[in-house]
A and B are shown apart, each in its own frame.
Chain A
Amino acid sequence: MDRIGQEDLVVLLGTPTPESSKLYAMTVTEGDPSWAGALAGEALGLPVYHIIEPQIRDQIDSEVYKAEVGVAEMVLDSEEISATVSGVRANNTGN
Chain B
Amino acid sequence: MYAREEAAGKMFRIVHYVNQFFGGLGGEDKAGTTAQVREGPVGPGRLLQQALGDRGEVVATVICGDDYVAENETEAGHAIDEALETFKPDLVVAGPAFDAGRYGLGCALMCRTAQARGIPAVTGMYPDNAAVITHRRELLAVPTGADATEMKAAVFAMAELGLKLAGGEELGPAAEEGYLPRGVRRLVLKDRVGYERALDMLLARVEGRRFASEVQVQQYEKVPPAPTIDDLSRAKIAIVVSTGIVPRGNPDSMVSAFSLESYRYSIEGVDALEVDDWESVHGGFNTRILNAQNPNYALPLPSLRRLEADGQIGRIYPYFFSTVGNGTAVGPAREIGRRIAEELTDAKVDGALEVAG
Contacting pair B253 A75 (CB below 8 A): yes
Q: How many pairs, one residue from A and one from B, have CB atoms within 8 Å of each other in the complex? A: 43
Chain A residues with CB under 8 A of B22: 34-36
Determine whether B38 belongs to the interface, using a CB cutoff of 8 Å to chain A: no
Chain A residues with CB under 8 A of B50: 41
Determine whether B213 belongs to the interface, using a CB cutoff of 8 Å to chain A: no
Within 8 A of A (CB), among B135-159: 146-152, 155
Closest B residue to A38 by CB, please name it: B24
Q: Which of A17, A33, A41 contacts B148 (CB 8 A)?
A: A33
Closest B residue to A19 by CB, please name it: B147
Q: With A and B bound together, what is the CA distance between A35 and B124 in angstroms?
A: 15
Name which of B21, B151, B155, B253 has the most chain A CB atoms within 10 A of its CB: B151
Determine whether A22 belongs to the interface, using a CB cutoff of 8 Å to chain B: yes
Contacting pair A33 B24 (CB below 8 A): no
Q: With A and B bound together, what is the CA distance between A19 and B99 in angstroms?
A: 14
Determine whether A60 belongs to the interface, using a CB cutoff of 8 Å to chain B: no
Chain A residues with CB under 8 A of B253: 75
Within 8 A of B (CB), among A57-71: none
Closest beta carbon of chain B to A37's beta carbon, Å:
8
Chain A residues with CB under 8 A of B43: 35-36, 40
Q: With A and B bound together, what is the CA distance between A35 and B41 in angstroms?
A: 11
Q: Scoring B residues 105 to 119 as 1 if CB is less than 8 Å from chain A, else 0, what string do you get?
A: 000000000000000
Closest beta carbon of chain A to B80's beta carbon, Å:
21
Q: Which of B44, B146, B152, B258 contacts A36 (CB 8 A)?
A: B44
Name which of A17, A35, A36, A40 has the most chain B CB atoms within 10 A of its CB: A35
Closest beta carbon of chain A to B176's beta carbon, Å:
28
Q: Scoring A residues 39 to 74 as 1 if CB is less than 8 Å from chain B, else 0, what string do you get?
A: 011000000000000000000000000000000000
Determine whether A26 belongs to the interface, using a CB cutoff of 8 Å to chain B: yes
Chain B residues with CB under 8 A of A13: none
Q: Which applies to chain A's interface (DSSP): helix, strand, loop or mixed? A: loop
Q: Scoring A residues 1 to 45 as 1 if CB is less than 8 Å from chain B, else 0, what string do you get?
A: 000000000000000010100110010000001111100110000
Q: With A and B bound together, what is the CA distance between A86 and B121 in angstroms?
A: 38
Q: Scoring B residues 41 to 57 as 1 if CB is less than 8 Å from chain A, else 0, what string do you get?
A: 00110110010000000
Chain A residues with CB under 8 A of B24: 36-37
Contacting pair A34 B44 (CB below 8 A): yes
Q: Which of A17, A19, A33, A75 contacts B151 (CB 8 A)?
A: A33
Closest B residue to A88 by CB, please name it: B149
Chain B residues with CB under 8 A of A26: 149
Known: A34-B22, A75-B253. A40 touches B46 (CB 8 A): yes
5 new A-B contacts at CB < 8 Å, known A26-B149, A33-B151, A36-B43: A19-B147, A23-B148, A34-B22, A35-B47, A37-B24
CB pairs A–B below 8 angstroms (29 shown): A17-B258, A19-B146, A19-B147, A19-B149, A19-B258, A22-B149, A23-B147, A23-B148, A23-B149, A33-B148, A33-B149, A33-B150, A33-B151, A33-B152, A34-B151, A35-B43, A35-B44, A35-B46, A35-B148, A35-B155, A36-B24, A36-B43, A36-B44, A36-B148, A40-B43, A41-B46, A41-B47, A41-B50, A75-B253
